[in-house]
Structure formats: structure tokens, C-alpha cells
Amino acid sequence: MRISDKAGIKKQKKHTILIIDDSDVNIAALIRILSPDYKTLIAMSGHEGIELAKSSSPDLIILDIIMPDMDGFDTIVMLKKAVSTRYIPVIFITALSKPEDETKGLLLGGSDYITKPFSPEVVKQRVKNQIRILEYIKKIEQLSRIDQLTGLPNRRSFHERLLSEWKLAIREKTSISLLVLDLDHFKKCNDTFGHLMGDTVLQKVAKIIDAITKRPTDFSARWGGEEFIVLLPKTDTNNAQSIAELIRKSIEQKVITFNNGQSTQITISIGVNTHTPTKNCSLNDFLHYTDDALYLAKRNGRNNVTVHVPN
């Protein structure tokens, strides 16, 4: 997985706003206000808006309250019930100006409330505020899935990806391989050079692992401490072993130089496990057997790749 994109290469994608309103006049006005900065989608009823929200996953919904068949209050209740639309922020924009109406809208999960007739500048700013909050939340969510020292995905992120790929392998009847990697005698490295130097070693090792696991479906992460883990979907045992051996050799040959001029080399032990899962297979067993392979690699002298052999 590549954590960062090169700045300036891609133009930032426009955020998408879904407008749910039964008035052509209001829709036209909102499109004029928002279309220069956002992609807009239109639904003219609550039912249509809910289906469009589920299929298109907009970043923000602007919702009228007074609509036939299903009003805005009923619509937001349905949006908040559905898992796929629950967290999409909703701005009410309505002619209902009583405080109790605004309170009801906010209590039902609305993020903001604008009364008609509306000012274009107010709409722009309220929308901008919600998009800013959304981006902030997404950034926090992204950071919560990244190991801050190495820049690799963390254990939580890996578990989510592993579960997704495991289910896909079951559906497609394909093999999936896992590598668990542990630096040899890392405590000695820390004791000799200090923890700051140890952090440098972890960063250098992470870069090597990330550079080698370069297919779009490959997923490497920091498992914890001096352990790393690599997921290789649609990869058989021989290819997984080859990738593991390439990582092992690359780390063994790497001379790691510190800022003070000192340098060191380190080795790594790797356990490999490959399986074609079915619905009756246990994901926990898959992880357990990979750990067993790593244990054997350590017991067999370290600095080697050991493949789990099913009984």
C-alpha cells in the first residue's frame, strides 16, 4: 500500500452534493450556487433521494422538508437508518422557520439548517463548513489506520483488509498468502544504538517491505513492535515464498546508516502461509499457522523463510 500520493500530480476530485427537493426553482438556484465548486446530483422526492444516496455515496446532502409523499423529516430518518448513508451530513434547506422545526431537524441528525429564502453566500459558507468538517474527520480516520513511525498501515487497518480479502478469496475460490516478519535480535540493536536508532531501523525495513510488495492488491503493515505482516491475495505458495525470500535478502544486505555516522545491518525471520479458503475455514487458524511458521523460522536459526506445511 502506498500511503502518500505525489503532490500536484492529480487534480483534487470535486466533492459531490445530492440535492433532494421537489421544486425546480430551488434546484436551479442551488445548482447555480454550488456547481462551480461541487458536483451536484438531483432527486425530486425522498424515496428517489434515498436510493440515489445509497448508489452514489455523496459527500453531503441538501434536503428540503416540505415534499409530497415523504417529507424531509421522514427522509432523514431513513437515511440515518441505512448503514451506507448513516454518516452522510445533511443540511436542511426549508421554508419552515419555527425554532421547533429547526430543533426537530437537528435532533433527527441534521448537521445544519437553512431557512428560505436563502442567501447564496450563506449556502456556500454552510456547505463549505460541512465539507471542511468532513475532510477533517476523514483525515483523522486515515491517521487512525496508519502507523505513525513507519507510515505503513497499522494492525487495525490490516485486520480490515485481511477480512475483506479473505471473503473475496472464498467467493472467487482463489489462494491467499500471508507473511509474518520479525526482526532478529532487535532488542540488542536497541540496547547497542538506542531507541531512536532502533526507530530508524524500523523505518528502513518498512520501506524495503513496502517497495517489494508493490502490486495494487499487496498490503503490508506494521503488526507491532518489530513485527511486520504482508497480505498477498491471489498468490500461491511458491510466489509467496519468493517474495518473502526477496524481502529477507534485501534486508540482510541493507547497510543502515544513522545520523551520527554509525551503521548496522540486521536480519529478519519470515513465516509464510498459503491457503484457498472456504466458508468453513477459520481466519484465526490461518493467522495462527502463519505465526507457527515464523516460530519455526526463529527456532531454525533465524534469518530464514519458513513455509507452513499443512498436516
| DSSP string for residues in 62-96 | EE-S--SSS-HHHHHHHHHHSTTTTTS-EEEEES-
Whole-number Cα distances in Å, 28 to 18, 20, 33, 182, 198: 13, 12, 9, 60, 60
Distance (Å, rounded) from C-alpha 41 to C-alpha 60? 10
Closest CA to 288 of 266, 304, 310: 310
Closest CA to 161 of 140, 173, 183, 146: 146
Residue 241's CB: how many other CB atoms inside 10 A?
19
First to last CA, the chain: 33
Catalytic member of 48, 100, 135, 226 = 226
Closest CA to 231 of 287, 282, 285, 311: 287
Closest CA to 205 of 164, 158, 152: 152
Beta 305-307 vs 227-233: how paired, if at all? unpaired
| DSSP string for residues in 95-106 | S---HHHHHHHH
Considering Cα of 152, then 155, then 161, then 162, what sign does the dihedral take?
positive
Q: Is residue 227 flagged as an active site residue? A: no
Q: In 189-245, where do the E strands start and end?
A: 219-224, 227-233
Contact 237, 307 (CB under 8 A): yes
Closest CA to 74 of 64, 61, 88, 60: 64
Catalytic residue ranges: 226
